Structure 1
Amino acid sequence: MIGGDHTHGAEAVNSRKILIYFESFEFVFMTHMLMDVLGYTYALNRSLQMRDSFMINGIKLIDTTKHQLEKMLGDDKWENFLKDVTTFCAKHDIKVPSMDDIYEPILKPKGFLRKVKNLQHYRVEIFTSILDRALQELNDRFDEMNIDFLLGVASLDPACSFYPYNKDRLLELACSYPEDFSSTDLLHLPSQLTRFIADMREDERFRKVESFVELSVMLVKTKKSLKHPIVYKLLKLVLVLPIATASVGRVFFAMDLVNNKLTNRVGDQLLNDCLVPFIEREVFMQVKDEELASCFQAIVGA
């Protein structure tokens, strides 16, 4: 009973602390911070994920989003943001700490207390830090080289009768695949692109094609993939890119989990054997235990 009372008492204390946090200035500050950052990045995320709109519109939003986040780092934006949070707290009877006072954490133990002012904590450690991370992620994912590459991909977007079409960017895109396009392919690609775009815009069957997948299917269905083989090869590479990128990402993520400190000395073959069932676990979950046991017994000669 004593242990049970102690447990329930600790849970009650933790519940009170969490409730206090939800009614604190810090929680309001964090909520407004996330709403502002996500508000700037939401349009970009939606635009990049949309299948029925111009891909190039999403790419153009990248620079706009970066510019908006950079502007938030200015002194005037910080003052306006803090004013909005303070106004909200005053309206809902939430205590607003002085920015010149020492920061006092709510859910962390007293030993965690560091002698930093609220201004340092909220502006530098939260406000500036979150914006810097968001900008860093955008810069890492969408540097100048990646944006040029995406603009090349977008130039083949079939939306609205290939409205974003740009021949020069497609030629540069093909040059980025030296192992897939020979010098002869690159020599014939300019004239084939000219014929391809004219053919697509004149053919009624391609008027309603709005995505790369639909374009690929229609080219095969109409046998025009044989008429424009080099352009069709370029289209296939565009289609494979997201899948290949995601697959590589999954592999490196799996390696971080499987090849940890305890197993970082394993050989390449054993590491590969561990990674395959981990990455393709949906497939391996369908294998029955009896079949695994029989396979193992056959290997060890049981």
Structure 2
Amino acid sequence: MEAVLLVESTKRKLQEFRESGFNPLLKKIHLFCGKNNIQILNMEEEYINEKGHRSKRQRHDFTNQHYYNFDCFNVVVDWFSDINTELLQNMTTFISYDSFSKFDELKLTRLCEFYPYDFDSREKITLSHQLGLYIDNVQKDERYANLNCIADLSRVMVETRKHISFPLVYRLLKLTLVLLVATATVERCFSVVKNVKTKLRNRIGQDFLNACVVCSIEKEAFESVTNEDVINRFQKMKFRRGQL
């Protein structure tokens, strides 16, 4: 629950920053430019793109101020504020603190809808029945009395073999546990793709792109691979006239 409150506070502060943070930031930029003899852009002038001309569809009153405030600053802030609070709130209903007092069957049923590829329509109906039996079962089981977090709940479910009795509940619990890790991994992957597929490599093939991205993401795994291993693998792929 504390995590949800922190997320909501962060979103409110980001919204405040979005509404009133551009001008203070612009003043700091102007001070930095002045100290370092960098030419300061006139924010009241008409915006000209990197090619040196304005777009044919651009309004005549489209100023630098408008472009950098609404098309750059606000967009970046929105990236950070686009957090699904509902998803986090639904996750917290799994917490076993205080005899599962936060448990909410409707919210957990809603949570499975965030994973359309992991639960089909039949399983969603079955899950709602399993959740009712599950909460009645664990609330009366002393082994679940002193759990502090979702990770402990997952561990004890396996130890007590309730993951077999309630397989869909356990599947939803596992998806909840890996959510933060999976999200961070996906974000890192997109960052790597942007670095690999640049303007100079805009025609890179899918297989070659995948290979480059994997090498960039799994750096630790590739630290043990030597140049000799790569050369031997390359030579064995097919017959070659010359030896590297």
What TM-score do you get using the length of structure 1 for normalisation?
0.59
Where has structure 1 moved over 4 Å in runs of 4 or more?
68-75, 102-106, 113-116, 131-135
In structure 1, the partner of 2:195 is: 257
Residue type of the alignment partner of 1:282: E
In structure 1, the partner of 2:119 is: 181
In structure 1, the partner of 2:233 is: 295
Q: Return the match for 2:160 from 211, 216, 222.
A: 222
Q: How far does residue 271 in structure 1 lie from its aligned partner after superposition?
A: 0.9
Q: How far does residue 106 in structure 1 lie from its aligned partner after superposition?
A: 4.8
Q: Return the match for 1:112 from 30, 39, 56.
A: 39
SS of structure 1 residue aligned to 2:194: helix
SS of structure 2 residue aligned to 1:178: coil
**1:156–1:162 CA contact under 8 A, matched in 2:** yes
Equivalent-residue separation in structure 1 for 2:205 and 2:229 (angstroms) = 26
Residue type of the alignment partner of 2:2: N
Over 3 Å counting, the alpha-carbon distance change for 1:189 and 1:287 in structure 2 is same
Let me know the Cα RMSD of the aligned residues.
3.4
**Within the alignment, does 1:193 sit opposite 2:131 as a pair?**
yes
Deviations 1:121-176 (A, max 9, x none): xxx9xxx99x9688534432x2xxx2112211121123333232111111111233
Q: How do residues 17-56 of structure 1 correspond to structure 2 at under 5 angstroms?
A: 56=1
Over 3 Å counting, the alpha-carbon distance change for 1:255 and 1:225 in structure 2 is same
SS of structure 1 residue aligned to 2:198: coil
Deviations 1:228-270 (A, max 9, x none): 1121111122123223222221221111111112211111111
In structure 1, the partner of 2:146 is: 208
In structure 2, the partner of 1:62 is: 7
SS of structure 2 residue aligned to 1:290: helix
Q: How far does residue 225 in structure 1 lie from its aligned partner after superposition?
A: 0.6
Equivalent-residue separation in structure 2 for 1:135 and 1:277 (angstroms) = 31
**Which runs of 5 or more residues in structure 2 are unaligned?**
44-64
Over 3 Å counting, the alpha-carbon distance change for 1:232 and 1:115 in structure 2 is closer
Q: How far does residue 223 in structure 1 lie from its aligned partner after superposition?
A: 0.5
Residue type of the alignment partner of 2:36: K
Equivalent-residue separation in structure 1 for 2:110 and 2:219 (angstroms) = 38
In structure 2, the partner of 1:22 is: none
**1:160–1:210 CA contact under 8 A, matched in 2:** no
In structure 2, the partner of 1:43 is: none
Looking at CA atoms only, which structure, 1 or 2, has the larger radius of gyration? 1
Over 3 Å counting, the alpha-carbon distance change for 1:281 and 1:135 in structure 2 is closer
SS of structure 1 residue aligned to 2:199: coil
Equivalent-residue separation in structure 1 for 2:32 and 2:230 (angstroms) = 56
Residue type of the alignment partner of 1:63: E
In structure 1, the partner of 2:81 is: 139
Deviations 1:25-74 (A, max 9, x none): xxxxxxxxxxxxxxxxxxxxxxxxxxxxxxx2221333334445656789
Over 3 Å counting, the alpha-carbon distance change for 1:211 and 1:292 in structure 2 is same
What TM-score do you get using the length of structure 2 for normalisation?
0.71
Residue type of the alignment partner of 2:78: Q
Q: Alignment length, in residue pairs?
A: 210
- Which has the larger share of helix? 1
Equivalent-residue separation in structure 1 for 2:139 and 2:234 (angstroms) = 59
Equivalent-residue separation in structure 1 for 2:166 and 2:42 (angstroms) = 68
**Which runs of 5 or more residues in structure 1 are unaligned?**
1-55, 76-80, 82-98, 117-123
Residue type of the alignment partner of 1:261: K
Identity, % of aligned positions: 30
SS of structure 1 residue aligned to 2:146: coil
SS of structure 2 residue aligned to 1:294: helix
**1:158–1:211 CA contact under 8 A, matched in 2:** yes
